[in-house]
Structure 1
Amino acid sequence: MEIFNNLWRLVEIGGPVMVPIFLISGWLWALIMFKSNWLWRINRDRISLPEALACLKTRTICDSATPRGLAINQYLSATRGGCGTSLAVNKLLLDSAIRKQTGTVQQYIPTIIILAAVAPLLGLFGTVSGMVETFRTIGLYGMGNAQAMASGIREAMITTQAGLLVAIPGIFIGHVLRKRANTIQHDLLVFQRGITQWLEKGDEV
Structure 2
Amino acid sequence: MEILKNLWILIEIGGPVMIPIFLVSGWLWGLIVMKADWVWRTSRNQLPLSEAMTCLQSGRAIPSNSPRAQAINQFMANCNGTRSHNRNADKLLLDAAIRKQTGAIQKYIPTIIILAAVAPLLGLFGTVSGMVETFKVIGMYGMGNAQAMASGIREAMITTQAGLLVAIPGIFIGQVLKKKANNIQRDLLVFQRGIVQWLEKECEI
Partner of 2:117: 117
| Residue type of the alignment partner of 2:161 | Q
Deviations 1:19-72 (A, max 9, x none): 000000000000000000001001111210001000001111112111100110
Give the aligned partner of residue 100 of structure 2.
Answer: 100
Query: Residues 162-204 of structure 1, C-alpha deviation per residue, up to 9 Å, x if partnerless?
Result: 0000000000000000000000000000000000000111258
What amino acid maps onto 2:41 in structure 1?
R
- Aligned match of 1:154: 154
TM-score normalised by L of structure 1: 0.97
CA gap 1:107/1:83 in 2 versus in 1, 3 angstroms: closer
Matches of 1:83 and 1:15 in 2, distance apart? Answer: 63
CA contact (8 A) 2:83 2:90 kept: no
- Residue pair 2:76, 2:83 contacting (<8 A) in 1 also: no
Q: Is there any run of 5+ residues in structure 1 with no aligned partner, and where?
A: none
Report the TM-score, using the length of structure 2 for normalisation.
0.97
Is the Cα–Cα contact under 8 Å of residues 46 and 64 in structure 1 kept in the other structure?
no
Q: CA–CA distance in 1 between the matches of 2:183 and 2:7? A: 38
Alpha-carbon RMSD = 1.3
Which residue identity does 2:103 align to in structure 1? G
Q: Secondary structure at the match of 1:16?
A: coil
* CA–CA separation in structure 2 for the residues paired with 1:54 and 1:84: 17
Letter matched to residue 29 of structure 1? W
In the alignment, the residues of structure 1 paired with residue 159 and residue 84 of structure 2 have an alpha-carbon distance, to the nearest angstrom, of 65
Runs of 4+ in 1 over 3 A off after TM superposition: 81-85
Quick one: distance in 2 between partners of 1:118 and 1:177? 18
Q: Which amino acid aligns with 2:137?
A: T
Count of residues in Structure 1 that have an aligned counterpart in Structure 2: 205
Matches within 5 A, 1:1-205: 1-80=1-80, 82-203=82-203
Q: Name the SS for the 1:135 alignment partner.
A: helix
1:50 and 1:97, CA in 2 relative to 1: closer, same or farther beyond 3 A? same
Kept in 2: contact 1:52–1:72 (CA 8 A) = yes
Deviation at 1:80, TM superposition (A): 2.0
| Residue identity opposite 1:6 in structure 2 | N
State the SS of the aligned residue for 1:107: coil
Q: For residues 153 and 5 of structure 1, what CA distance do their matches in structure 2 show?
A: 22
Separation in 1, partners of 2:84, 2:2: 68
Q: How far apart in 2 are the matches of 1:83 and 1:196?
A: 13
Q: For 1:185 and 1:84, how far apart are their aligned partners in 2?
A: 27
Distance change in 2, residues 1:181/1:81 (3 Å): closer
Distance in 1 (CA, whole Å) between partners of 2:202 and 2:36 is 39
Give the 3 Å change call, closer, same or farther, for CA 59–203 of structure 1 in structure 2.
farther
> Percent identity between the aligned chains?
70
Distance 2:84 2:38 in 1: 37
Instruction: Write out per-residue CA displacement over residues 67-109 of structure 1, whole angstroms, 9 at most, x where no aligned residue.
Output: 1001101111111254444110000000100111011101000
SS of 1:201's equivalent in the other structure is helix
